[in-house]
Every structure is written in structure tokens, then in C-alpha cells.
């Protein structure tokens, strides 16, 4: 299966799950309306895409489902970071993008129900990939750095249930990606683009 972006990939997975589960209405909500900006294109009135309104992100029965949010989401192309930038910068930018996305959808960081966090080591020319115990240690160092930053985005005791997985690669020049769901606390008005 060829995918151009992680959003398309997760959208296709969600669509297949919806068909299998017999929920065609959920699938219909994930498609973007005609004339909507293409994935990765700047959203009208914003500098670099509105993650809360992109395909794959949707609200259903008071729950906001967000698809792959990475370190370059919500930033203009000229402000994208590379896989060779520090992991902590990737985490901070990803968490900032996630916070903006959930807030646009009428949620708060503390209303996130569950999150899946994917992270990887940088795959780039000139960057040696560790092996064996060194690879484990590198992933453990990333996990520790992630936790230090991640917890600052939630009130004490407010962090959601979470799963973390180390991968070989994440699309979009990101070393981290987060998917999950959040309870909508204050639904946005229709005029705001919902």
C-alpha cells in the first residue's frame, strides 16, 4: 500500500476499521469536503495547516479523535525541523501542535482519554544507527526525555492512559507522532470551521 503521508495512512486504517465494524457514518466523517485544503497544505487563515480540521481528525459522539500529530504539524514549510534536530525539540513541537489541535476541537490536554506515542531514532545520512544494547539505550534515553517534557503538558494526575512504541521510521521528518482521543469539553461553534 503506497501512502504519501502518515495522515493518509492512518485515515486508510480508520476507514478499513469503519468498514469492517459496519460504521460507514464514521468513514464519511473522515473525508474532507470538496475544496478543503489537501493534507499538508496550509489552511485558510493559518500558517501551516489546521490539525483540528485535517482529514483523519474528527469528532464523533463527543469524542475528538486525532490522527498522527508530529513535530512539523501546524508549522509552515519554512519552519519545519529535520530528523537530525534534537529529540527534545521534536517532542516539544509535537506536544505544542497536539495542544493546539485539541483546543481547536473544544478539548483540553487533561480531557485526552488515551494516547499512543510513537518515536524513532533519526534515520539520516551521516548518522550512525546504534545496534544491540546501544540501540536499547538510545531508545531508553528518548523515552526518558519524552517523559520529562510530556508530563509538563498535563495538570498533576491529569495525564491520559498512554502506550509508547519505538519504531524504525516516522514519515514527515518527525521523530515522534501521537494519536489518540479526547473528550470534547466545550464544542467549537460551527462558524469556527467545524
How does pLDDT run across 90-128, given as a tens digit for each residue?
999 999 999 999 999 999 999 999 999 999 999 888 889
Residue 126 has what pLDDT? 86
CA atoms within 13 A on the CB side of 146: 23
pLDDT value, residue 2: 45
Q: CA 87 to CA 42: how far, in whole Å?
A: 25
Provide the pLDDT for residue 14: 55
Integer Cα distance of 14 and 60 in angstroms: 13
- Rounded to whole angstroms, the Cα distance separating 174 from 1 reads 21
Alpha-carbon distance of 90 to 48, in angstroms, equals 17
Range in 49-63, 77-91, 95-109 the model is least confident about = 49-63
141-171 pLDDT, tens digit per residue, is: 999 999 999 999 999 988 999 999 999 999 8
Q: What is the DSSP letter of 40?
A: T
Amino acid at each position: 500500500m503506497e501512502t504519501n503521508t502518515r495522515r493518509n495512512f492512518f485515515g486508510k486504517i480508520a476507514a478499513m476499521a469503519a468498514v469492517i465494524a459496519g460504521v460507514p457514518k464514521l468513514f464519511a466523517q473522515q473525508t474532507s469536503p470538496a475544496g478543503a485544503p489537501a493534507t499538508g497544505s496550509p489552511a485558510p487563515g493559518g500558517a501551516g495547516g489546521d490539525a483540528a480540521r485535517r482529514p483523519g481528525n474528527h469528532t464523533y459522539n463527543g469524542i475528538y479523535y486525532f490522527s498522527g500529530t508530529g513535530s512539523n504539524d501546524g508549522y509552515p514549510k519554512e519552519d519545519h525541523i529535520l530528523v537530525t534536530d534534537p529529540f527534545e525539540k521534536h517532542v516539544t513541537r509535537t506536544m505544542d501542535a497536539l495542544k493546539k489541535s485539541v483546543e481547536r476541537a473544544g478539548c483540553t490536554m487533561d480531557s485526552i482519554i488515551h494516547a499512543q506515542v510513537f518515536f524513532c531514532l533519526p534515520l539520516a545520512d551521516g548518522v550512525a544507527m546504534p545496534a544491540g544494547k546501544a540501540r536499547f539505550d538510545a531508545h531508553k534515553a528518548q523515552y526518558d526525555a519524552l517523559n520529562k517534557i510530556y508530563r509538563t503538558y498535563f495538570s498533576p494526575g491529569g495525564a491520559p492512559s498512554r502506550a509508547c512504541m519505538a519504531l524504525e521510521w516516522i514519515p514527515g521528518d518527525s521523530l515522534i507522532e501521537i494519536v489518540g482521543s479526547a473528550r470534547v469539553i466545550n464544542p467549537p461553534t460551527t462558524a469556527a470551521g467545524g
